[in-house]
Amino acid sequence: MRVILIKYGELTTKKGNRHFFIKKLTENLRHKLKNYAVKIVVDRSRMYLEFLDSDLERLESIVQNTFGIYKYHLAYMVNTNHDTIKEEILKIAREKVFQTFKVEVKRSDKNFLYSSLEYASLLGGVILKNIDGVRVDVHHPEVTFTVEVREKMSYIYTNSIKAVGGYPVGTQEKGMLMLSGGIDSPVSGYLAMKRGMRLDAVYFEAIPHTSLEARNKVIDLTKKLVQYTDCIHLHIVPFTALQEAIYKNCRSEYCITMMRRMMYRITSLLAEKNKALVIVNGESIGQVASQTLVSMNVINSVTNMPVIRPVACLDKLEIIDIAKKIDTYDISILPYEDCCTVFVPKHPVIHPHLDICLKMESEFSFDELIEQCVENTFTLKISDEEDDEYQDLL
Ligand code: ATP
Ligand code: MG
């Protein structure tokens, strides 16, 4: 029988937490596979899936994109018994075209008749004897037959397919992702989930200065991200009144800094309200005026909540590579304006002073506007199912 044999990645290094990690991974996979006729069998060092051949392609795509899975093999599972293993390995070898090969045996059943080395050379001999024109090359074989001998069942495979790795989503608590329509923040969300975090997302919009298309873009980005988890609550903040007040009351070169201080304040409040423990955003050191270290310091000082910046130290091209891989790039480059880009001052301050920010903030009453933003925030639940609730809301 053919199975997908899954190897757990980094989580095997977390000794004490191993059980918890495997349990989460199993739950996550079970959820993603619920529409397929799949049997999941789990043990300490691996799990395998029994499946219908017609589903293989779709199952592989799910397995490849599930955090916590490091690699997998399409393996043949047979009874642990020399005759059966021999027959199966010959069957696999006959279906392949190759000249050089090696056999590798991993034996966890210490009662098995042969040692790993003995058994590898015995099976190598079987292949040499039965298949014409092939020879052993232990250093650079075209095909490696791996046989994992376990107590009851053994697995034979010739391939090893890389998956995304990371930790299963849900092995950490929740973060609040500041999601704009740009390239960086969806990539940050992806990288945060890869560390096992769950996410809610917050999007600031300034209608009528920003459009419904811009909102839809953020919804579409959230739908891409939700593929890696089960559900993301997207909190949409009506930011217009506060943004206009900033532009009316603050020095123009400080408007972006002030706007971002307000965004951080609101994000922290929404995070607390929704039980998120950290903020996640797409800031990248030096990319724009508001992302110099001085700016980050002045902006960040409004909150005590940890701010995770997964792309802080990546080059734009590295970020774009990931955006393309996770299929958010084409959505991100659609040209709808974000509230950060609608009234960009000609010369945004690169080295803002905290005292100046505090003075401006003491001169207009933004507390109430912040309260209104939080109060008027509305939430769309975006899940990985087709029939999302948000469709009714638009
Ligand atoms: P991105 O490509 O993610 O839009 P950016 O390089 O355009 O980032 P900024 O506009 O300075 O940079 O934004 C920095 C970060 O602040 C974004 O990555 C995002 O996390 C957050 N952010 C910016 N605008 C918004 C918004 N309208 N709603 C929610 N978060 C935002
Ligand atoms: Mg942006």
Pair (156, 178) in one structural domain: no
| Ligand 1 site, residue 288, Cβ cutoff 6 A | yes
Pair (57, 98) in one structural domain: yes
Which residues, including other chains, have CB under 8 Å from residue 177's CB and lie 6 or more apart?
Answer: 185, 188, 189, 192, 199, 200, 201, 202, 280, 281
216-226 pLDDT, tens digit each = 999 999 999 99
Pair (183, 278) in one structural domain: yes
> Which CATH number belongs to the domain containing residue 186 in this structure?
3.40.50.620
Angstrom distance (rounded) from CA 185 to CA 178:
7
Long-range contacts: 136-140, Cβ < 8 Å, 24+? Answer: 136/100, 136/101, 136/102, 137/100, 137/101, 137/102, 138/102, 140/100
* Mean pLDDT, rounded, for 58-69: 95
- Name the residue among 162, 141, 151 with its Cα closest to residue 96: 141
Predicted pLDDT at 394: 45
* Mean pLDDT, rounded, for 111-131: 95
* Distance from the alpha carbon of residue 266 to the mean position of ligand 1, in angstroms: 14
Report the percent of the chain where pLDDT is more than 90: 84
For residue 167, tell me if it sits in a domain: no
Tell the residue nearest (CA) to atom 25 of ligand 1. 180
Predicted pLDDT at 392: 45
- Name the residue among 195, 222, 2 with its Cα closest to residue 92: 2
* Mean pLDDT, rounded, for 8-17: 67
Number of domains in the chain: 2
Predicted pLDDT at 192: 98
Domain closes at, from 162, 192, 215: 162
Tell the residue nearest (CA) to atom 21 of ligand 1. 178
Q: Best of 177, 179, 185, 315 to mutate for ligand 1, by most ligand atoms within 8 A of CB?
A: 185
Which residues, including other chains, have CB under 8 Å from residue 387's CB and lie 6 or more apart?
Answer: none
Q: Best of 178, 287, 317, 319 to mutate for ligand 1, by most ligand atoms within 8 A of CB?
A: 178
Pair (180, 313) in one structural domain: yes
Containing domain of residue 141, as a range? Answer: 2-162
**Antiparallel, parallel or unpaired: β 278-280 and 174-178:** parallel
Predicted pLDDT at 385: 81
Domain closes at, from 113, 131, 162: 162
Pair (16, 95) in one structural domain: yes
Tokens of residue 329, six digits: 């790039």
The full 3-state SS of the chain, as one line of letters, equals CEEEEEECHHHHHCCCCHHHHHHHHHHHHHHHCCCCCCEEEECCCEEEEECCHHHHHHHHHHHHCCCCEEEEEEEEEEECCHHHHHHHHHHHHHCCCCCEEEEEEEECCCCCCCCHHHHHHHHHHHHHHHCCCCEECCCCCCEEEEEEECCCEEEEECCCEEEEECCCCCCCCEEEEECCCCCHHHHHHHHHHHCCCEEEEEEEECCCCCCHHHHHHHHHHHHHHHHHCCEEEEEEEECHHHHHHHHHHCCHHHHHHHHHHHHHHHHHHHHHHCCCCEEECCCCCCCCHHHCHHHHHHHHCCCCCCEECCCCCCCHHHHHHHHHHCCCHHHHCCCCCCHHHHCCCCCCCCCCCHHHHHHHHHCCCHHHHHHHHHHHCEEEEEECCCCCCHHHHC
Cα 53-57-59 angle, rounded to 5 deg: 85
Pair (190, 288) in one structural domain: yes
On the 0-12 / 13-18 / 19+ scale of CB atoms within 10 A, 140 is exposed
- Name the residue among 279, 249, 253, 245 with its Cα closest to residue 353: 253
* Distance from the alpha carbon of residue 169 to the mean position of ligand 1, in angstroms: 23
Angstrom distance (rounded) from CA 122 to CA 126:
6
> Which CATH number belongs to the domain containing residue 10 in this structure?
3.30.2130.30
* Mean pLDDT, rounded, for 204-209: 94
Pair (40, 66) in one structural domain: yes
Pair (256, 385) in one structural domain: yes
* Mean pLDDT, rounded, for 310-337: 95
For residue 132, tell me if it sits in a domain: yes
Tell the residue nearest (CA) to atom 14 of ligand 1. 283
Mean per-residue pLDDT of the chain: 93
Domain closes at, from 136, 162, 188: 162
* Mean pLDDT, rounded, for 234-259: 95
* Sheet containing 278-280: order of strands: 307-308, 278-280, 174-178, 198-205, 231-238, 378-383
Pair (319, 279) in one structural domain: yes
For residue 156, tell me if it sits in a domain: yes
Report the percent of the chain where pLDDT is more than 70: 95
Pair (271, 150) in one structural domain: no
* Mean pLDDT, rounded, for 151-175: 95
Phi, psi of 379 (to 5 degrees): -120, 130
Predicted pLDDT at 94: 96
Pair (99, 189) in one structural domain: no
94-106 pLDDT, tens digit each = 999 999 999 999 9
* Mean pLDDT, rounded, for 254-259: 95
For residue 237, tell me if it sits in a domain: yes
For residue 246, tell me if it sits in a domain: yes
For residue 295, tell me if it sits in a domain: yes
For residue 27, tell me if it sits in a domain: yes
For residue 203, tell me if it sits in a domain: yes
Pair (119, 200) in one structural domain: no
Angstrom distance (rounded) from CA 343 to CA 33:
46
* Distance from the alpha carbon of residue 360 to the mean position of ligand 2, in angstroms: 24
Tell the residue nearest (CA) to atom 7 of ligand 1. 182
For CA atoms 221, 223, 229, 235, give the dihedral sign: positive
Dihedral-angle region of residue 297 (phi above 0 means left; psi in -120 to 50 means alpha; beta otherwise): alpha
